[in-house]
Copies of this chain bind each other. A is one copy, B any other.
Amino acid sequence: MESEHGGDIYSFAKRLGIRPEEVIDFSSNINCYSPKVEKDFNEIDVRPYADPNYTSLKEALAAKYEVGSDQVALFNGASSAIATLLGLYSKATIYAPAYGEYRRYAKSVTLINRFENLFDFPLQNSLVVFVNPSTPDGDYIALQQLFEIWQMQNCTVLIDESFLEFTEFDSALSFLQEYPKLYILKSMTKFYACAGVRVGTVISTPENIQQLQKHIPMWNISTFDEVYIKEALKDKRFELDVKFQIKQDKKLLFRLLERSEYVEKIYFSDTNFFLVKLKGIDAYGLQEMCDQENILIRNCENFDFLDRFHVRFAVRPKEDVAVLKKVLDA
């Protein structure tokens, strides 16, 4: 069986006897469009140690998010940031369903079912984990009321904004001044379409970042990845163009899902994927049908509060949606 995460095109391709490049991957929710990266990667000198402070990369990210570069900590991917941050707190409150790595690294965990009890009180003094927009459904929540609750409960707050760039909504960064017990996680992977490039960014107050830095191993970013992200951030048109394009593709996918006899409900999504509740077939049955077209989808059974009738589809270009149509319109 495939990995419990999305995007494992290798196991899937092996099982089908095809090459990983032949997989049409609706399972991983990264951007299906890539920024222009105009750099000769054969010219990169990997011999020397990188600047141990990754000064220029931090400056580029700080400029993008309009914070000071002393407010930025870099991790080898968002998963690594999650492992480190969750490891620092004895109690976590996770608004679920959420990305599985949060539970994996929480020392002890309380879940809040955000579909049903969004305004429940989190455990006092715990680390609150809130993904905004959420996975696997893609809903963006305005956070003012929640911050009031979190403050009452004296929680430290981690907002995962891995998918925020697909939306027009505000970052929780604006809360940082009045609520300093706050960490914002930014993944480069999703919007910049580079799951193979391992850079995750945590933004907080300079004091928090200085403390956090003590838990980050030396030289945790590949020189290749450092260059890649700096170059990707230079493509300023990308953000505008891609949002427009994804909106078009998203409509197409929505229409296909909406009229499929297998779809009971499409969850509201502000971002580049849809969570779907199936009817008359479960995720395993639909996966089997998708196998025929080399299509990989995300079975969401292993998310908290979901079951084997939930699957996720990422927004993809219309050619790929046309192939998916063969399965869903059958």
Bound-state CA distance A220–B181 (Å) is 27
Is A330 engaged at the interface, CB distance under 8 Å to the other chain? no
Tell me whether A101 is interfacial, beta carbon within 8 Å. Answer: yes
**Which residues of the other chain, B, contact A136 by a CB distance below 8 angstroms?**
none
Whether A52 contacts B5 by the Cβ 8 Å rule is: yes
Query: Is there a chain B Cβ closer than 8 Å to A233's Cβ?
Result: no
CB pair B195 A51 closer than 8 Å: no
Q: Give the residues from 64 to 97 in chain A that come closer than 8 angstroms, CB to CB, to chain B.
A: 76-77, 79-80, 82-83
Are the CB atoms of A222 and B225 closer together than 8 Å?
yes
Indicate the size class of the contact surface on chain A: 35 or more
Considering the chains assembled together, what is the distance between the CA atoms of A217 and B198 in angstroms?
A: 11
**Residue A115 lies at the interface, judged by CB distance under 8 Å to chain B:** no
Does A195 lie within 8 Å of B41, measured CB to CB? Answer: no
Q: Provided the pairs A7-B48, A10-B51, A40-B42 are in contact, do residues A195 and B219 lie with their beta carbons within 8 angstroms?
A: yes
Q: Closest approach, in angstroms, between the C-beta of A180 and any C-beta of chain B?
A: 26
Q: Flag whether A224 is at the interface (Cβ < 8 A).
A: yes
A252 to chain B, nearest CB (A): 21
- On A, residues with C-beta under 8 Å from B are 3, 5-11, 20-21, 25, 28, 30, 34, 40-42, 44-52, 55, 76-77, 79-80, 82-83, 101, 193-198, 215, 217-225, 228
Which 4 A-B residue pairings sit nearest by Cβ, starting from the closest?
A196-B223, A224-B224, A46-B196, A41-B41
Q: Can you give 16 A-B contacts (C-beta < 8 A)?
A: A9-B49, A21-B45, A41-B42, A46-B197, A47-B193, A47-B194, A76-B220, A77-B217, A77-B219, A79-B217, A79-B220, A82-B217, A83-B217, A197-B222, A197-B223, A198-B222
